């Protein structure tokens, strides 16, 4: 399919209806591949979720994708690192360039907020996601945070600004 040229990315609040519906669909897809214990959700009841940046991708007014960035200041405050979370494009809109555009949009948001690096976790049964991240300069890193010891997890990182 041809890349979508008229995709709109809207930064939304954590309680945005479209964001929540997309995340429910993402979780349903992940449950087809993994046991529920290995799905790392965002706890929307945690007040720290307000520190996250969420985006919804719209094509012709329809919500088709989402993603989030969470500050990881607990790792090393001087590192200025964010984690990519809940990155998803609806199966009906894949292979159209939406994920690439959304990833670049979120990287721009991280840079604008003064962050230097993005880390992420994906699963071993998601070759499409792995391919996207590697294609855009993400490199394998050691498992971090809650993913340490999870045999289904792979972690990647990308430096946005060299020091």
Q: List pLDDT tens digits, range 74-114.
A: 666 677 899 999 999 998 888 889 999 999 999 999 999 99
Q: What is the pTM of this model?
A: 0.89
Instruction: Give the number of other CB atoms < 10 A from CB of residue 52.
Output: 19
CA-based nearest residue to 99, from 36, 7, 32, 1 = 7
pLDDT band at 71 (very low <50, low <70, confident <90, very high): very high
Q: What pLDDT was estimated at residue 12? A: 97
Q: Three-state DSSP class for 36?
A: helix
Q: What are the φ/ψ torsions at residue 52 (nearest 5 degrees)? A: -80, 155
Whether residue 123 contacts residue 63, with contact meaning beta carbons closer than 8 Å, is answered with no
Q: What pLDDT was estimated at residue 29? A: 84
CA-based nearest residue to 67, from 112, 117, 9, 115 = 9
Q: What percent of the chain has pLDDT over 90?
A: 63
Contacts of 84 (CB under 8 A, 6+ apart): 67, 68, 69, 103, 106, 118, 119, 120
What is the distance of C-alpha 122 from the center of its chain? 9
- Residue 86 to residue 77: CA distance in whole angstroms: 23
Which whole number is the average pLDDT over 35-59? 83
């Amino acid at each position: 399919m041809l890349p979508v040229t008229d995709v709109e990315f809207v930064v939304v609040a954590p309680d945005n209806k479209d964001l929540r519906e997309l995340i429910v669909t993402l979780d349903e897809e992940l449950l087809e591949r993994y046991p529920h214990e290995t799905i790392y959700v965002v706890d929307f009841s945690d007040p720290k979720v307000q520190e996250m940046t969420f985006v919804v991708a719209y094509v012709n007014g329809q919500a088709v994708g989402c993603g989030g960035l969470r500050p990881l200041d607990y790792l090393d405050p001087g590192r200025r690192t964010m984690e990519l979370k809940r990155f998803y494009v609806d199966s009906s809109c894949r292979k159209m360039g939406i994920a690439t555009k959304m990833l670049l949009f979120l990287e721009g948001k991280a840079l604008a907020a003064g962050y230097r690096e993005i880390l992420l976790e994906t699963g071993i049964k998601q070759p499409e996601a792995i391919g996207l991240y590697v294609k855009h300069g993400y490199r394998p890193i050691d498992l971090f945070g809650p993913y340490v010891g999870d045999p289904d997890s792979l972690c990647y990182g990308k430096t946005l600004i060299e020091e």
